[in-house]
Amino acid sequence: MEKNDGKRTDTSSTSASYTKAVRHYSKKLPKETIEFLNGIAKDYAKVKNYTYSRYSGIGSMDKLTPVYTVLNETRASGMRKNLDLPVVYFELAVADAVRDIKSRWGVLKNKLNSIITANGNLSDTDKMYLRTVLKINTTFADILNRRPYKRPDKVAGEALNEDRLNNYLRRVTRKHLTKMESARSDYFRVTPAGYSFKNGEFKLVSRVPRQRIAVPLKDACIFDRQILVKICTDHVEIDVPVERKPKSHPDYVNTVYAHIGSRNMITLSNGHVYGKDLDTLASIETDRLVEINKARNKVRDALARAKDDKNEQKARHIETNNLGHKKYKRMKDRGRGISTTFINTELNRLIKEEKPEKIVITKRVMHNGRIENKSFYKTSNVRQSRSFASYIRKRLACKCKDNSIELVEINSKGTGSTCSVCGGAGKFIPNEGFACSECGCITDIGLNSARNIEKKYKVILCKDEDKQTF
């Protein structure tokens, strides 16, 4: 079932080159430069929000590709002139917003697909019809907007209650179509048309014609593509996409089955654990933050008292010396840095030691349309390690790409709640593990899940092979 003959068939999804953002830093910038950059970023966000408000609804969903229609309409709106925003920033803001809207439609379609799959009131033909419609954007748009449409060829001959299904589709779409969150105003994107390098200095187009703003960089680099400029208090970070070729490891031939947990980061079905006790590391960080916040609250009380006493000098002193945000944020970031370094080191170790060709994990659990992490610990310090769950997944996906490893996500249904020994039902006993109520065995929660993932995936593979023989 698994390819263990040492040969690898490279699939396009794992061997193609991909882009990765490389970050560059500016030197400390003068106040005027930061003000200029903040102004651009603010207007950039305004343009994005305007584009969201006009084009994120169902009426515009088939207007988004290609982007020129939206660009032409926003150009004609007069907004650019009102903001006095250079074209290079304006058009990219529109394109950026359109990309966000399209990606939200993509997320929604995935969500609708899983909702359709889980709906027991739909027949297999119903489901096939709905999935086909979801795949064809124009048909999907026509149905949502109650416009005439042609039934897709794939389901042309089927007996279906189309009205009922279309109504259902409109209803679930309405229910799950989220509003676009308003755009952040601390960054903007710019193409090479909006910047240049002169005498080794990076310069951005300003609001004044033929006048560019110098942004000296820390390293002597030159780039030539669309970049993202993020503004920090006294400097900027510039993300430049760079093409990368994934590393190939002909000796990586194993399939590993991994449970991503909140106590131990990753448990494999072979019993190996990576990122042991991640929650402890995270909780030390949480405890430290709690202590810091306690101390800050005391200072806030002192500040309030000083203000009550009309002791302005003291109040000012407290505000500037004891309640600053810079140091607090720096310490918070450093704490998170310790955990993220640990996560990355352990993921690297997993890849090096297990030599996987393929890693099988479960999809994140969806709950009322929101992604939730299955966790059975409710103590507050798990919150911190929970917030790492998406980071772990992101880094794992990234490292798989980097190393030509196939990452497979399967549905998590049943992988946590059944016994991996006998398949019976059981429950979680805090600090002990998963206790099977049928065979009585107690297994580590992560290990039990990982073993179930292995079982489940092997069943899926068998089914696929059956299909291929027909």
What one-character-per-residue DSSP string does 247-303 give? P--TT--EEEEEEE-SSSSEEETTS-EESTTHHHHHHHHHHHHHHHHHHHHHHHHHH
CB of 329 to Zn ion, least distance (A): 48
| CA-to-CA separations, 374 to 259, 362, 449, in angstroms, rounded | 11, 11, 11
| 336, amino acid identity | R
Q: What minimum distance in Å lies between the beta carbon of 363 and Zn ion?
A: 25
Nearest approach, Cβ of residue 438 and Zn ion (Å) = 5
**Whose Cβ is closer to Zn ion: residue 337's or residue 424's?**
424
Residues 186/236, Cβ–Cβ less than 8 Å: no
| Window contacting Zn ion (CB under 5 A); options: 281-289, 295-303, 436-444, 453-461 | 436-444
Residue placing its CB nearer to Zn ion in the complex, 432 or 438: 438
Minimum CB–partner distance for residue 427 and Zn ion (Å): 12
**Secondary structure string (H, E, C) spanning 111-163:** HHHHHHHHCCCCCHHHHHHHHHHHHCHHHHHHHHCCCCCCCCHHHCCCCCCHH
Distance of alpha carbon 245 from alpha carbon 141, whole angstroms: 37
At 401, list the tokens.
Answer: 């790409």
Scanning 98-106, 223-231, 355-363, 414-422 for contacts with Zn ion by CB under 5 A, the matching segment is 414-422
User: Where does this chain touch Zn ion (CB under 5 A) — which range of 113-121, 257-265, 387-395, 438-446?
Assistant: 438-446
CB-wise, 106 or 440, nearer to Zn ion?
Answer: 440
193 vs 439 by CB, closer to Zn ion: 439
**Contact between 232 and Zn ion per CB under 5 A:** no
Nearer to Zn ion, 264 or 443 (CB): 443
For position 442 contacting Zn ion by CB under 5 A, the verdict is: no
> Could you tell me if 65 and 270 are in contact, meaning their C-beta atoms sit under 8 angstroms apart?
no
Quick check: bond before 66 cis, omega within 30? yes
Contact flag: residue 435 with Zn ion (CB under 5 A): no
Closest of 350, 255, 248 to residue 15, by C-alpha: 248
* Relative orientation angle of helices 137-144 and 162-176, to the nearest 10 degrees: 90
Q: Is 193 in the site for Zn ion (CB under 5 A)?
A: no
Tell me the C-alpha distance between 261 and 276, whole Å.
10
DSSP 57-90: SGGGTTTSSSTHHHHHHHHHTTHHHHHT--HHHH
Nearer to Zn ion, 116 or 436 (CB): 436
Query: With binding defined as CB under 5 A, does residue 439 bind Zn ion?
Result: yes
Q: State the sign of the Cα–Cα–Cα–Cα dihedral 361, 367, 371, 376.
A: negative
Which of residues 279 and 444 has its CB atom nearest to Zn ion in the complex?
444
Cα–Cα nearest to 151, from 164, 170, 136: 136
| CB of residue 451 to Zn ion, shortest distance in Å | 11
Pair 74, 51: CB distance under 8 Å: yes
* Binding segment (CB under 5 A) for Zn ion, from list 82-90, 175-183, 224-232, 417-425: 417-425
How many amino acids of this chain bind Zn ion (CB under 5 A)?
Answer: 7
What's the CA gap between 77 and 79, in Å, rounded?
Answer: 5
Q: Which of 165, 318, 419, 453 contacts Zn ion by CB under 5 A?
A: 419
For position 231 contacting Zn ion by CB under 5 A, the verdict is no
> In terms of CB distance, is 327 or 427 closer to Zn ion?
427
Q: Please identify, among the stretches 185-193, 222-230, 231-239, 429-437, the one whose residues bind Zn ion according to the rule CB under 5 A.
A: 429-437
Whether 231 contacts 36, CB under 8 Å:
no
Near Zn ion by CB under 5 A: residue from 242, 422, 425, 462 = 422
Q: Report the alpha-carbon distance of residue 332 to residue 337 in Å, rounded.
A: 9
Q: Do 64 and 70 meet the contact criterion of CB atoms below 8 Å apart? A: yes
* Site string (313-342) toward Zn ion, x via CB under 5 A: ------------------------------
Stretch that binds Zn ion, among 52-60, 371-379, 437-445, 451-459 (CB under 5 A): 437-445
Comparison of 254 and 417: residue with beta carbon closer to Zn ion = 417
Candidates 84-92, 281-289, 385-393, 422-430; binding stretch for Zn ion (CB under 5 A)? 422-430
Dihedral angle, C-alpha 313, 316, 318, 321, nearest 10 °: -120
Residue placing its CB nearer to Zn ion in the complex, 14 or 418: 418
| Residue whose CB is less far from Zn ion, 284 or 435 | 435
Q: Name the 3-class secondary structure at 410.
A: strand
| Near Zn ion by CB under 5 A: residue from 30, 324, 337, 424 | 424
| Interface region with Zn ion, contact rule CB under 5 A, candidates 65-73, 246-254, 304-312, 423-431 | 423-431
User: Which listed residue (41, 436, 445, 447) binds Zn ion by CB under 5 A?
Assistant: 436
Binding stretches for Zn ion (CB under 5 A): 419, 421-422, 424, 436, 438-439
